[in-house]
Amino acid sequence: MMDFTPSFAAAGAPGFAGVDWLMIVLYFGVLLGVTWWAVKKRKDTAEDYFLAGRHLGWWIVGASIFASNIGSEHLVGLAGSGCTDGVAMAHYELHAWCLLVLAWVLVPFYMRSRVYTMPEFLEKRFSPASRWVLSIISLVAYVLTKIAVGIFAGGIVFGTLLPELRVDLGFVTLDSFWVGSIAVLAATGLYTVLGGLRAVAYTEAIQTVVLVVGSILVTAFGLAKLGGWSELRAALPEDMFNLWKPLVPAGMEGTWAPVKEANRIAWYFNGNFPWLGMLFCAPVIGLWYWCTDQYIVQRALGAPNEQQARRGCIFASYLKLLPVFIFIIPGMICFALALSGKVPEFQSLLVDQGGRQVAERDASQAAFPLMVAHILPAGVRGIVVAGLLAALMSSLSGVFNASSTLFTVDLYEKFRPRATQHELVRMGRIATTAMVLIGLMWIPVIKGSKGLYFYLQAMQGYLAPPIFVVFFLGVFMKRLNGKGCLAALIVGFALGIFRLAVDTPITLGLEGYANGYPAGSFLWIVNNIYFQYFSILIFVVCAAVMIGVSYATEAPSAKQIQGLTFATTTPEQRATSRASWGWPEVVASGAVLLLILIAYLYFQG
């Protein structure tokens, strides 16, 4: 049994008070009550189980999107990134504008098509084969980027807060990492499997409130302990507050030097991200995730109409601006407290003898739970721990529901078209359980990576480009057909899996791969291409394949693509869509863009 907890146990976290446990028990009591209510209201139909009967209001849609997104990778990975690299990763979190693209560009197509899933939309636009391939790619992506990550982060949180926890099962002793992982899995799986999307959406709305309030408390108490925002600016290197310097390091302004940078590991560890990668790769990943991923879009599909779906997406874009301040900043505060010596436990874990660098990237991943354990008073600590659990559970519950929907609607129902509604729901539950078991087995790969958030972005970079290509080119170019779509999906997925197969032996440190591949060999070159550049390569290849194959074969029929591209939308459909929004939606969207601009202007070092 691998032990992930020794480095955190040294922190000497204070024990939980009775009032902390009371807060946690109350939190779970509320979730149980909401789940029971959802079960009583749920009808035994696929639409009700997977889309909550399409009765979700805009604020539930927005809160559910946010809660699904804000999960383990933020609590553990993003706060850890703030601890080591400052605001560098805020580029990904300022992708709130991608939700506006979903609201204004793609929601009209999704809502008028009345689909359950993104692969189902792809079938309407292209072909049944495209639907099946996308379903398989999405399920693989969920195991690698969401389920395994959620399980791993749950273990990190418990390993930090309760390092001495052990459970002896006779044949094996589970440490706090595995006890926490299994506990989060069991609790989340229970209400997801029983209540469907209705339980998931309403519990996520509650979890959003708990998570945001709890994270604000961590930031507030941390700044108070440090002495205020000015002390934070004074304690940390100026570069940690600069969103631009990580993209264009000194001496490389106006050049293409980042493309030729060979030492990609040092590039990342120095807090530097190549500007070309951030300029071209990050938006592809963002638009794939926010606009085409079942995990996110399923919440919008649960709205009763286009207006509610659009408003929910705009509301979610405001919430998406929060992680910079409630996750990255607490990670930076944690490092500042370590440098200042005001919390000796942090200093021993995070600061080397020189006093200016993070010594252990693995230890920095515990920055947020360390803040909870050492900074917060009794009672407040229980509320925030409930918020930690809320983020972990909401992230997992969202992917559980999305996975069961994809497997059942896009795969199982196609092979058994006469399956009853009850059978479809049952198979969705079985599929989710199987994916959880696979996710557990993938944890060692995450452990061997260069930080949780880096791992997550790399996996998404390998899997996102072909999906982005077929959706966005599909709605903007009516000439593209099913054969081109299928070719792009298969080629892009093959390239991503190939890169993953090349990287995994080194990540795991398997015998014979500890020192990597022979320098200069083909596999060495593939392994040493920075993940964002490899992602751009996949994107370019997929776009070329899709356009080339489509124009080399017959055009799709006008009837098939009616209303599914901008060029084939009817005047009546455009009028219906136009009637669903007014000046409040336009002003609200403009304000989001303004806030993003302000953030970029402020964080210039």
* Cα–Cα distance, 21 to 110 (Å, whole number): 44
The amino acid that residue 398 corresponds to is: G
Q: Please choose, from the candidates 88, 161, 145, the residue with its C-alpha nearest in 3D space to the C-alpha of residue 366.
A: 161
Paired strand residues for 173: 168
**Residue 410, both tokens:** 């896009």
* Cα–Cα distance, 70 to 150 (Å, whole number): 11
- φ, ψ for residue 175 (rounded to 5)? -80, 180
Q: Please choose, from the candidates 485, 397, 53, the residue with its C-alpha nearest in 3D space to the C-alpha of residue 205.
A: 397
**The overall pTM is greater than 0.85:** no
Q: Please choose, from the candidates 453, 50, 398, 374, the residue with its C-alpha nearest in 3D space to the C-alpha of residue 207.
A: 398
Tell me the residue length of the chain. Answer: 605
Q: What is the pLDDT of residue 11?
A: 42
Three-state secondary structure along 379-428? CHHHHHHHHHHHHHHHHHHHHHHHHHHHHHHHHHHHHCCCCCHHHHHHHH
Q: What is the pLDDT of residue 298?
A: 79
User: Under 8 Å CB-to-CB from 503, ≥6 apart: which residues?
Assistant: 527
Q: What is the pLDDT of residue 270?
A: 36
The CATH superfamily label for domain 6-602 reads: Sodium/glucose cotransporter (1.20.1730.10)
The amino acid that residue 384 corresponds to is: V
What's CA 532's distance to the chain center, in Å?
17
Paired strand residues for 242: 604
- φ, ψ for residue 99 (rounded to 5)? -65, -30
* Cα–Cα distance, 391 to 387 (Å, whole number): 6
* Cα–Cα distance, 260 to 452 (Å, whole number): 26
Helix, strand, coil shares of the chain, percent, nearest 5, are 75, 0, 25
Cα–Cα separations (whole angstroms), residue 512 to 433, 506, 521, 528, 538 = 34, 9, 15, 17, 29
The amino acid that residue 46 corresponds to is: A
Domain ranges of the chain: 6-602
* Cα–Cα distance, 592 to 388 (Å, whole number): 26
Q: Which residues of the chain have pLDDT under 70?
A: 1-16, 35, 38-55, 71-73, 161-165, 169-172, 174, 178, 180-181, 184-185, 187-201, 203-204, 245-275, 352-362, 390-391, 393-395, 397-398, 401, 447-453, 509-515, 605
Q: What is the pLDDT of residue 589?
A: 97
- Measure CA of the first residue to CA of the last residue in the chain; give whole Å: 44
Task: Output 222-231 pairs: Cβ under 8 A, ≥24 positions apart.
Answer: 222/330, 222/333, 222/334, 222/337, 222/371, 222/375, 223/333, 225/337, 225/342, 225/343, 225/375, 226/333, 226/336, 226/337, 226/340, 226/342, 231/336, 231/340
For 478, counting Cβ atoms within 10 Å of its Cβ (0-12 exposed, 13-18 middle, 19+ buried), the class is middle
* Cα–Cα distance, 592 to 317 (Å, whole number): 7
Classify residue 511 by its DSSP letter.
Answer: T
**Residue 286, both tokens:** 């963002």
- φ, ψ for residue 174 (rounded to 5)? -90, 125
* Cα–Cα distance, 35 to 198 (Å, whole number): 9
Q: Please choose, from the candidates 66, 163, 131, the residue with its C-alpha nearest in 3D space to the C-alpha of residue 395.
A: 66
The amino acid that residue 325 corresponds to is: F
- CA geometry: angle 455, 461, 466, nearest 5 deg: 150
Q: Please choose, from the candidates 579, 33, 570, the residue with its C-alpha nearest in 3D space to the C-alpha of residue 306.
A: 579
* Cα–Cα distance, 94 to 328 (Å, whole number): 12
Classify residue 321 by its DSSP letter.
Answer: T
